[in-house]
Structure 1
Amino acid sequence: MRDLLVTLVIFGSLPFILKSPAIGALMWVWVSVMNPHTQGWGFATHLPFAFIIAIATMFSLLISRTPKSLPLTPISLLLLAFVVWMNITAPFALLPEASWVQWNKVMKIMLMSFVVMMVIRTRQDILRLVWVLAGSIGYYGVKGGIFTIRSGGTERVWGPEETFIGDNNALALALIITIPLMFYLQQNTDKRWLRHGLSAAMLLSALAALGSYSRGALLAIAAMCLFMWIKSGRKVALGAVLCLLTPLLLAFMPDRWSERMDTINTYQEDSSALGRLNAWQMAWNLARDRFLGGGFEVSDPGIFARYAPNPMDVHAAHSIYFQVLGEHGFVGLAIYLALGIATWRAASRIIKLTRNAAELRWALGLATMIQASMIGFAVGGAFLSLLYFDMPYYLMAVLIATRIVVERQLLTGQIQS
């Protein structure tokens, strides 16, 4: 039944995609972030839905009369520079075969990220994209939260297999990124039932993040909550809610969860933490030795034997920063960090432009919550190999479109006045 439903929805959307490439972008984001076909058990799990939607969207973009140019902003230009640099490092990869397989996946993500930036142009499309992102990850938050309650927190929450968020740690970080988006949507709806539903979704998503047993997620959610409290105009109310809910959520988790979180303070005795430190040192040594880095996919025994302090402890980078450093060198790391800074500055610019404009309050709240998501990703991503996870790139597209809409509306207002 699930396979049939997903298939009908995707094929049923094709006429709408051909009419509007923005619909195609939204469908692509839904399929690439949520991977709804993984929730079935039959024929739909093997159908190339993403490819079908991508082709339909590109064709729609080709025949559409809507603007097709890529907005030239610091974000889009730096992302383009990052893509160019990855294409420079890829031919010199230490593991050519594995590198080209990963290159193929990453370039598809980057191509469609640029397409999303090209076609999301209106406030309506922006809000639709936020809803798609929140709903796609929120589904697993609600599902995982209910699972945590039913199991009493004794079992770990996992994401859909063979996806970016399949790992328990990755799913937890995705949920943390999504909670601020849910909060934004909750604060900007007049429907009581929807507000209550989003409140429940946020609570369950937080519980699912805890139920993942991810230590990095705990640090990320703490940093994100602190930022949201600082930015809140109702610090007393929000602080009271956080002080009330946090002890309840933590008290619900079993002793084994507390014991795992306690290992944050004793990482010197934890094999997983030591493995990450070994992988980080390997990435550092590799980048120092090779200007272009090692190319995609450097978690290999042969590479660790050459660059790691402990050549027998082969780990993935478990850090977006050391992942880009090992794969694309110091230049790649510099571009990626600059991209993050540009994204933060774009959100800050929107906040500055809309602070005194009541009609643009929607943009002010959205930019602030995306900054909260960025805080969560920056902290949690320090412990996960999610450099190519597409959701942050779609949030960049949201900021690009929001700034364009805001500046256009402010300019129009000035001309009319």
Structure 2
Amino acid sequence: MRDLVLLGLLPLLLYFMAKRPFIGLGMWIWTALFFPNAWVYGPASHIRYNLLFTGVAILSYLAMRDKPKFQPGRLGSLVLLFFLWTTLSTMMTLAPPDISWDYWNRFAKVIVLFVFILLVVQKKLHIDFFLWCVVLSVGFYADLEGLKFLGSGGGHKIEGLTGHVLGDRNELAVAFVMTLPICYYLLGEYGKRSRLLWLALLGTMCLLVASVIGTQSRGGFIALAGFGAYLFIKTDRKIPVLILLVLLAGGLSMVASEEWMSRMNTIESADGDASFMGRVVAWKLSFILAVQNPVFGGGFKALEYFPVWSKLSQQFFSYSWFYTGDALPNTEIARAAHSVYFQVLGNQGFVGLAIYVACLGGAFLKAARIAGKAKELGAPDWVRSLATMLQLSIFAFALGGAALSFAYFDLIFAIFALLIVLEGRILPASLKELAR
């Protein structure tokens, strides 16, 4: 049945994507985050939807008559410089070249999406459609899994889809938190127009929170707690937000299992948790890898290549100030870095990490600058709201990603691009409309 529905809708989707590039762009991120192939089992499962929709979006853009200028600005230039740096590091990779280049190819697709957002998005409608597609991918999965979690009384453990970019439950949890501020923005814009949309978005936000708990991810929980505190600080609706947070906390405490409680309690005593200290070992080896290759690092997946891991382990006691407790490197298998910062440090060296952190910090500050400028110049309220919520999404990623190998996630680079477009193209256009 799912195959028939998807195959029946496909020609219609392709037609609208061919007519409107921004629709193709939205479907591009939808397929990247939703992974439709995992939801169908017949002939529809053999179609490469992301490749198909990407191709149609690109062709649709090429057919556009009045193409906007490509204006990456400083943030966009930093992102492109980082991509160049990953290319150079891949050329000198310490991992098997086929593995590193395969990972580089995945990241190249993320950068192509980033570039096409800058090329295609021109209006509020385009941004809103793109964000709706994010909610209808990550948010839809949270709706299904969150209901299972609540329906089972907290017994259902939420996992990602096998083979998907969000297949790991920890990464999935951070993606859930990143989607929360997007829902909040859409709730403010569309909730007042339709009671049904208001209920759907509010329900999705509640289920996103429940789904974070259901993953039993400590990194996701930290990101969620940080998001809640930061949202309370940034929002103009402090009383309703506080009431919602209290109700959610009270409700979820009733379904949180003892296993979840015990896992979260290990946050307070991280140095006694073997799983966490194993990550610290990987961080230290990533640091040693960067010390030995300070400019370009070891390349994608270098740390996870056991000969490299084993060689780095021989230098493990060279940096005694890097505390790892009693934990030692695994002598049988290599492990991932488990931190976006140490992941980039090991993969692209100290220079690559500096560029990456500059991208994150630059985007965070740009969002704050847009919100401030919108308020100062009297721009429409939605501009300030969008900038603030995208800033919150970056904050959630930066906080939750500190313990995850998630540095090259599609959505964070898409948010970078949306902020560039918002400041350079959409904010000036909204101010001109007000001046008329």
Please state which band the TM-score falls in when normalised by the shorter chain: over 0.9
Structure 1 residue matching 2:275: 3-state secondary structure: helix
1:55 Cα deviation (Å)? 1.7
**Residue 326 (structure 2) pairs with residue 326 (structure 1):** no
**Per-residue Cα deviation, 1:123-172 (whole angstroms, up to 9, x for no partner):** 11111111111221101111111110122212310122211111111111
In the other structure, the counterpart of 1:371 is 391
Structure 1 residue matching 2:254: 3-state secondary structure: helix
Number of positions where the alignment pairs a residue of Structure 1 with one of Structure 2: 415
Of all paired residues, the percent bearing the same amino acid is: 32
In the other structure, the counterpart of 1:41 is 41
**Per-residue Cα deviation, 1:19-46 (whole angstroms, up to 9, x for no partner):** 2222211111111111122111223233
Letter in 1 for 2:102: V
| Pairing 1:280-291 to 2, within 5 Å after superposition | 280-290=283-293, 291=295
| Paired residues of 1:69 and 1:118 also in contact (CA < 8 A) | yes
| Pairing 1:244-283 to 2, within 5 Å after superposition | 244-283=247-286
**Aligned equivalents of 2:132 and 2:245: distance in 1?**
24
Q: Normalized against structure 2, the TM-score is what?
A: 0.91
1:235 Cα deviation (Å)? 2.2
In the other structure, the counterpart of 1:390 is 410
**Aligned equivalents of 1:46 and 1:336: distance in 2?**
36
**Residue 105 (structure 2) pairs with residue 104 (structure 1):** yes
Letter in 1 for 2:78: L
Q: 2:301 aligns with which of 297, 320, 329?
A: 297
In the other structure, the counterpart of 1:53 is 53
**Aligned equivalents of 2:335 and 2:72: distance in 1?**
38
| Paired residues of 2:177 and 2:224 also in contact (CA < 8 A) | yes
Letter in 2 for 1:123: K
| Paired residues of 1:181 and 1:369 also in contact (CA < 8 A) | yes
**Aligned equivalents of 2:246 and 2:18: distance in 1?**
49
| Paired residues of 2:23 and 2:129 also in contact (CA < 8 A) | no
Letter in 2 for 1:100: W
| Paired residues of 1:82 and 1:336 also in contact (CA < 8 A) | yes
In the other structure, the counterpart of 2:326 is none
In the other structure, the counterpart of 1:91 is 91
1:15 Cα deviation (Å)? 2.3
**Aligned equivalents of 2:187 and 2:430: distance in 1?**
24
**Aligned equivalents of 1:143 and 1:122: distance in 2?**
31
In the other structure, the counterpart of 2:78 is 78
In the other structure, the counterpart of 1:348 is 368
**Residue 406 (structure 2) pairs with residue 405 (structure 1):** no
1:392 Cα deviation (Å)? 1.1
Letter in 1 for 2:116: V
**Aligned equivalents of 1:243 and 1:412: distance in 2?**
40
| Paired residues of 2:364 and 2:395 also in contact (CA < 8 A) | no
| Paired residues of 2:158 and 2:211 also in contact (CA < 8 A) | yes
Letter in 1 for 2:285: M
In the other structure, the counterpart of 1:215 is 218
Structure 1, gaps ≥5 residues long: none
In the other structure, the counterpart of 1:135 is 136
In the other structure, the counterpart of 2:159 is 158
Structure 2, gaps ≥5 residues long: 317-328
In the other structure, the counterpart of 2:145 is 144
1:90 Cα deviation (Å)? 0.8
After TM superposition, the structure 1 stretch with the greater mean CA deviation from structure 2, 242-251 or 148-157, is: 242-251
**Aligned equivalents of 1:330 and 1:264: distance in 2?**
28
Q: 1:200 aligns with which of 200, 203, 209?
A: 203
CA RMSD of aligned residues (A): 1.7
**Per-residue Cα deviation, 1:286-330 (whole angstroms, up to 9, x for no partner):** 011013111111212111111133252621111111111111111
1:257 Cα deviation (Å)? 1.0
**Per-residue Cα deviation, 1:43-86 (whole angstroms, up to 9, x for no partner):** 32332111112222222222221315322222211111111111
Letter in 2 for 1:224: F
**Aligned equivalents of 1:46 and 1:332: distance in 2?**
37
| Paired residues of 1:220 and 1:377 also in contact (CA < 8 A) | yes
**Per-residue Cα deviation, 1:355-401 (whole angstroms, up to 9, x for no partner):** 15665101111111111111111110111111111011111222122
Q: 2:234 aligns with which of 206, 231, 234?
A: 231
**Aligned equivalents of 2:3 and 2:299: distance in 1?**
37
Structure 2 residue matching 1:355: 3-state secondary structure: helix
**Aligned equivalents of 2:10 and 2:180: distance in 1?**
26
Structure 2 residue matching 1:188: 3-state secondary structure: helix
1:2 Cα deviation (Å)? 1.4
Letter in 1 for 2:43: F
**Aligned equivalents of 2:243 and 2:120: distance in 1?**
41
| Paired residues of 1:156 and 1:168 also in contact (CA < 8 A) | no
**Aligned equivalents of 1:265 and 1:74: distance in 2?**
39
1:218 Cα deviation (Å)? 0.8
| Paired residues of 2:287 and 2:345 also in contact (CA < 8 A) | yes
Structure 2 residue matching 1:257: 3-state secondary structure: helix
In the other structure, the counterpart of 1:336 is 356
In the other structure, the counterpart of 2:62 is 62
| Paired residues of 1:2 and 1:40 also in contact (CA < 8 A) | yes
| Pairing 1:174-193 to 2, within 5 Å after superposition | 174-189=175-190, 190=192, 191-193=194-196
| Paired residues of 1:3 and 1:37 also in contact (CA < 8 A) | no
**Aligned equivalents of 1:186 and 1:72: distance in 2?**
29
1:112 Cα deviation (Å)? 2.1
Describe the shift of the 1:367–1:328 C-alpha distance in structure 2 as closer, same or farther (beyond 3 A).
same
